[in-house]
Amino acid sequence: MSFVIRRIAFYLVAFVVAATINFILPRLMPGNPIDVLFAQQATTLPAEARQALIETFGFASGPLHLQFLDYMKSVFTGDLGYSIRFYPQTVNQVLAYAFPWTLLLAGTATLLAFCVGSIIGTYAAWRRGGLLDAVATPTSLALQATPAVVIALTALFIFGVALRWLPTGYAFNPSLDPGWTWAFISSVFIHGLMPVFSLMIVFVGGYLVTMRNNMIGQLGEDHVTMGLAKGLTDKRVQFNYAARNALLPSVTSLGLTLGAILGGSLVTEVVFNYPGLGQTLYLGIVTRDYPLIQGQLLIMTFATLLANLAVDLLYVFLDPRLRRA
Amino acid sequence: MFETLKVFLRNRKALIGLIIVLLYVAVAVFGPLILNLDPMQRVGRPHQGPSPEEWFGTTRMGRDVFAQVIYGTRTSLAVGFFAGTIIVLIGTCLGIAAGYFGGWIDEVITFFTNVVLVIPQLPLLLVIAAFMGQTSPVVIAIIIGLTSWAWGARVTRSQTLTLRNREYILASELIGERPTRMIFVELLPNLLSIIGFNFIGSVTYTIITQATLEFLGLGNPMSVSWGTMLYHAQNTSAITIGAWWEVLVPALAVAGIGVGLSLLNFGVDEISNPRLRTLGTVAAAVRAQKKLDQQRLAETNA
């Protein structure tokens, strides 16, 4: 139990660091930070909204340490201020609308990439030097080194523009009303295919190579030889003896790569005009909507830390040694 | 030295990777000199397809895509190598310090490294770059360098820890060698492969990230790089109107150097850890072994 508590304390500190970066950055810029923050929209933003933003970011209180405490209070009470691009909506409202789409996109892609990558990696290591290994391993290396932009743009061009098989933008057909109807769900599914698969392709290689290399390490261990010597079936040795242990480092990397996946999702959403955090953020960047840009750093850090915590809990389940400690 | 090089070149992945990377470096260094053409100059009508005059077509602004991608190679590689150097310098210093000195120094550095590691990179870079305004390639290189060293620091630290427990280190300590000599003469040479690995990985990461940041509109649109090319293409809806060359050319350029660098890295990894090898190298090893066996057999028979 103390393991979990230690991890939670650590994640809390990490979150405070991310929030501190948000606090320091506008104050490091030359000139008056309030003007920097709201320079672009000074005229379009009503005075009371401007005042609310100044208070949220702690500029209203006197010395720096009081400003810091004030800002932290805003952050921990969930007040991220008003969005400048989407005024009169607050940053929370904007992010709350976009977040489910990103969760759907990044979540499905991660799950698919992890499962597909780990399974192929297991087989590639089991028949090392075989056909699957010779094809899948170099391919995944190449995919791993290809940026998400490139894969998304290529997919968009081939399946969206040249072949016209799949829609080129939006999360669902805009003429449909959102609801639990078959028409709406199938529309979401069709629109999600390209973003999900192009995001999955970027990350499947990493999981595949990690799993393959861990598996190869495991296959040289004594307990695997022992399992084979006992006359257990290949399947049992492969999955229960080797793969189960080889999965542990993969699960750790699952938590750590989540940040990268959210990053990849940002880009994929921009390419496919998908209404998630990335697309919203892109619109925010164009107009230098600082509260929104800062808000997304916090929410993405929060999501990553939660996922890491989930991985830690999963670890306790997968690794019996941690349960005793 | 020559032996190491021979082992290195026998690995097919490493060799192909090296050739690709050298090709890119050659284009980056000599391309603009040979071409001698301003990439921002209008050379034709907007969105013209590939032709004998403009090999890779023109952009919305009527600029030559071929010239842009050549100049872009220079920018992207320079940013990649510059940021890669920063990342390796910070990561190696912190990693060695944590691993060698241990104690509270290790505690502090490890804690700090882990914090940086769990904060999502791209969103963090977006916030910093957004405040910097329209960031030039040099600024992008610096902010990527200053935020991306954590992985390298962690790997270097764990490798230093294993080395720290070797007998030769203990022996040098008993002789009374000073810490500077221990670090630079005893530890650093044995960390070279990790440092090289870290460097190549960081260059790949930087090139990809720079392209992504610029694609999202956080670069200086007046500078010529693969990322700004993609940004302009996206902004002028090049794909939807069928100007595929404007997107495909920079996209392939980024993908190509990424593949080259990672093949190089994987090749290096395979050489230092032979168990990771795939078909080609395994088969080659089997063949070499057979030949050796036959030779021995012939010798014993004779």
pLDDT digits (tens, 9 = 90+) for B119-175: 888 888 888 888 877 678 888 899 899 888 888 898 889 888 888 888 888 888 888
What is each CA distance from B19 to B195, B263, B264, in whole angstroms? 21, 10, 9
Sole residue written with tokens 């449909």: A176
Q: Do B127 and A22 touch (CB under 8 A)?
A: yes
Average pLDDT over residues A294-309: 85
What was the pLDDT predicted at A247?
85
CA B246 to chain A, closest CA, distance in angstroms equals 11
d(CA B225, CA B218): 13
Q: Do B131 and A22 touch (CB under 8 A)?
A: no
Measured between CA atoms, the residue of chain A closest to residue B133 is: A288
Q: Do A270 and B127 touch (CB under 8 A)?
A: no
Average pLDDT over residues A126-142: 81
Of B127, B204, B208, the CB nearest to A293: B127
Q: Note every long-range contact of A29-37, with CB atoms under 8 Å and residues 24 or more positions apart, other chains counting.
A: A29/B131, A33/A59, A34/A59, A36/A290, A36/B131, A37/A290, A37/A291
Mutation target to probe the B interface, by most B beta carbons within 10 A, among A153, A274, A312 is: A153
Q: Do A308 and B118 touch (CB under 8 A)?
A: yes
Band of pLDDT at residue A129, cut at 50, 70 and 90? confident
Average pLDDT over residues A138-159: 82
What was the pLDDT predicted at B121?
84
Q: Which amino acid is at B264?
A: L
What was the pLDDT predicted at A39?
62
What was the pLDDT predicted at B68?
81
Mutation target to probe the A interface, by most A beta carbons within 10 A, among B131, B263, B268 is: B131
CA B102 to chain A, closest CA, distance in angstroms equals 20
pLDDT > 80? residue B286:
no
Sole residue written with tokens 């260059």: B203
**Count of Cβ atoms closer than 10 Å to residue A292 Cβ:** 28
- What residues pair up with B63 in beta bridges, in sequence order? B42
d(CA B73, CA B31): 9
Band of pLDDT at residue A173, cut at 50, 70 and 90? confident
Band of pLDDT at residue A306, cut at 50, 70 and 90? confident
Cis peptide bond upstream of A88, omega within 30: yes
pLDDT > 60? residue B18:
yes
Least confident of A134-143, A169-178, A199-208, B250-259: A169-178
Q: Which of 197-256 (A) contact B at CB < 8 A?
A: 213, 216-217, 220, 256
CA A181 to chain B, closest CA, distance in angstroms equals 30
CA A162 to chain B, closest CA, distance in angstroms equals 8
Q: Do A128 and B278 touch (CB under 8 A)?
A: yes
Assess A306–B contact: CB distance below 8 Å, yes or no.
Answer: no
What was the pLDDT predicted at B158?
86
Q: Do B216 and A266 touch (CB under 8 A)?
A: yes
Q: Do B279 and A133 touch (CB under 8 A)?
A: yes
If one compares A191 and B204, the residue with the highest pLDDT of the two is B204
Highest mean pLDDT among A91-100, A159-168, B37-46: A91-100
Measured between CA atoms, the residue of chain A closest to residue B230 is: A149
Assess A8–B contact: CB distance below 8 Å, yes or no.
Answer: no
What one-character-per-residue DSSP string does A236-276 give? HIIIIIIIHHHHHHHHHHHHHHHHHHHHHHHHHHHHHT-TT
Dump pLDDT digits (tens) for A176-220.
777 777 777 777 777 878 888 888 988 888 889 888 888 888 888
Average pLDDT over residues B22-49: 76
Contacts of B254 in chain A (CB under 8 A): 146-147, 149-150
Least confident of A46-55, A136-145, B218-227: A46-55
Of A26, A216, A305, the CB nearest to B118: A305
Least confident of A314-318, B23-27, B207-211: A314-318
Cα radius of gyration (chain A): 23
pLDDT > 70? residue B53:
no
CA A277 to chain B, closest CA, distance in angstroms equals 11
d(CA B262, CA B256): 10
Mutation target to probe the A interface, by most A beta carbons within 10 A, among B24, B236, B269, B279 is: B279
Q: Do B234 and A270 touch (CB under 8 A)?
A: yes
pLDDT > 60? residue B279:
no
Hey, is B1 helix, strand or coil? coil
CA B233 to chain A, closest CA, distance in angstroms equals 10
Average pLDDT over residues A45-55: 71
d(CA B148, CA B79): 14
Q: Which residues of B255-285 are buried (b: 16+ CB within 10 A; e: fewer)?
A: bbbbbbbbbbbbbbbbbeeeebbbbebbeee
Least confident of A38-47, A142-151, A316-325, B160-169: A38-47
* Residue boundaries of the structural domains of chain A: 2-77, 97-324
Structure tokens at A177: 């009303």
What was the pLDDT predicted at A69?
80
pTM, 2 dp: 0.83
Of A10, A133, A290, the CB nearest to B130: A290
Could you say which architecture CATH assigns to the domain A97-324?
Orthogonal Bundle (1.10)
Average pLDDT over residues A155-161: 80
Average pLDDT over residues B26-40: 78
Q: Which of 267-296 (A) contact B at CB < 8 A?
A: 267, 270-271, 281-282, 285-286, 288, 290, 293-294, 296
Of A130, A153, A258, the CB nearest to B247: A153
In this prediction, the answer to ipTM > 0.90 reads: no
Contacts of B12 in chain A (CB under 8 A): none
Average pLDDT over residues B259-286: 69
What was the pLDDT predicted at B85?
94
If one compares B210 and A35, the residue with the highest pLDDT of the two is B210
Average pLDDT over residues B215-219: 83
pLDDT > 70? residue A31:
no
d(CA A141, CA A210): 11
pLDDT > 60? residue B1:
no
**Count of Cβ atoms closer than 10 Å to residue A64 Cβ:** 12
Mean pLDDT of chain A: 80
Dump pLDDT digits (tens) for B87-109.
999 999 999 999 888 889 988 99
Band of pLDDT at residue A116, cut at 50, 70 and 90? very high
What was the pLDDT predicted at A324?
60
Contacts of A133 in chain B (CB under 8 A): 278-279
